[in-house]
């Protein structure tokens, strides 16, 4: 909700829910959150983290210039800039 309020205040930004799909240039259809991919508790562990990193790489390969990948398990966030 805070992100939506910020986007409305700034203008020129769009916020979509996690179930929204977008057809990217490589024909993949991920569901982005600002390109802040929020891991759920079931997304913790090496295999799940690798899948989230792959998803972030796909966003970047299809034109995303910035992505955030926070991990509550690791209490850290990866910043993807391109």
Q: Would 13 be classed as within a structural domain? A: no
45's CB contacts (< 8 A; 6+ apart) are 73
Q: What pLDDT is attached to residue 30?
A: 67
Q: Would 71 be classed as within a structural domain? A: yes
Q: Would 66 be classed as within a structural domain? A: yes
Q: What pLDDT is attached to residue 64?
A: 80
pTM: 0.60
Q: Would 46 be classed as within a structural domain? A: yes
Give the residue ranges of the chain where pLDDT is below 50: none
Q: Would 74 be classed as within a structural domain? A: yes
Phi-psi region of 51 (alpha: psi -120 to 50; beta: other; left: phi over 0): alpha
Q: What pLDDT is attached to residue 31?
A: 57
Q: Would 12 be classed as within a structural domain? A: no
Beta bridge partners of 70: 77
Q: Would 25 be classed as within a structural domain? A: yes
Look up the domain containing 65 and give its range: 18-81
Q: Would 1 be classed as within a structural domain? A: no
| Total tally of structural domains belonging to the chain | 1
Q: Would you give the DSSP letter of residue 34?
A: T
């Amino acid at each position: 909700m805070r992100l939506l309020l910020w986007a409305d205040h700034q203008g020129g930004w769009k916020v979509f829910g996690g179930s929204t799909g977008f057809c990217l240039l490589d024909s993949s259809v991920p569901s982005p959150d600002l390109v802040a991919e929020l891991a759920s508790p079931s997304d913790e562990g090496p295999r799940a983290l690798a899948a989230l990193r792959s998803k972030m790489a796909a966003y970047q390969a299809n034109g995303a210039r910035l992505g955030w990948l926070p991990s509550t398990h690791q209490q850290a966030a990866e910043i993807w800039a391109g």
